[in-house]
Structure 1
Amino acid sequence: MVDNLLSVSTVTTQSPPTLVCPQPQRPESKYLFTKEISCLAFGFGDEPNPNQDTVHLLECYMIEYVRDLLSKASNRAQRRGGKLELNDIMHYLRDHPKQYNRVKMIMKHKKATETTSKLWEEEEPGKKKKKL
């Protein structure tokens, strides 16, 4: 019975490895983020053109994580009796401080950008303000 167990030393290369990723539901959505994940991998120290199987596997992990997070947040929103909101997502990110703080920082930056763009629109001398 011990012979049936595999170890690192007994693995053979008879067939090429296959991805464990489930197939996308729509064929046109197959591997949407290949370019972005390749750039991220390069930014984190990989080579400029990483192996496509690695990129596809990372994309599968990423999509699975986002689906799981949104599914949990959606279930929480339904229990509350409302629509999916950012607070529902943040509820599940609170156990992951890096991700939680990153989302808070992005939202703060977005709010500051919106405020700045409104100020620029108000101060443009060539435009006249519309009267209601």
Structure 2
Amino acid sequence: MLTIAGRTFTSRLIVGTGKFASSAVMQAAIEASGTGMVTVALRRVDLNDPGDDLMAVLDRRQYVFLPNTSGARNAAEAVRLAHLARASGAGDWVKLEVTPDPRTLLPDPVETLKATEALVKDGFIVLPY
């Protein structure tokens, strides 16, 4: 069991929605995993469109969707992406990624901390990467 922000999960596993051969394979993998949290790249999905392929195959009541800030090179970009996700209806949960080097994708701990502090102050539930 894992409890974050008052929500209890039966699995600690967080599953991403990218790199699947099809939506059906993604749905089957996520369901089989037993996860309660699913990461979503903001550029892959329109959270306001219930007809979007991802939103059509995954039940938003069953999973906490974690829009991620993939592509953010600094804290300011990550905060902006998180606010865009919230404005799109994604809620207050976010998987925070601040990776200044697109070649290595190594996280920047100082910028990640800055973004975390700002987002928590703004009421987000932040899961840093």
TM-score (norm 1): 0.25
Larger helix proportion of the pair:
1
TM-score (norm 2): 0.25
User: Which of 1 and 2 has greater Rg?
Assistant: 1
Larger strand proportion of the pair:
2
Q: Report which structure shows greater RCO (CA 8 Å, sep ≥6).
A: 2
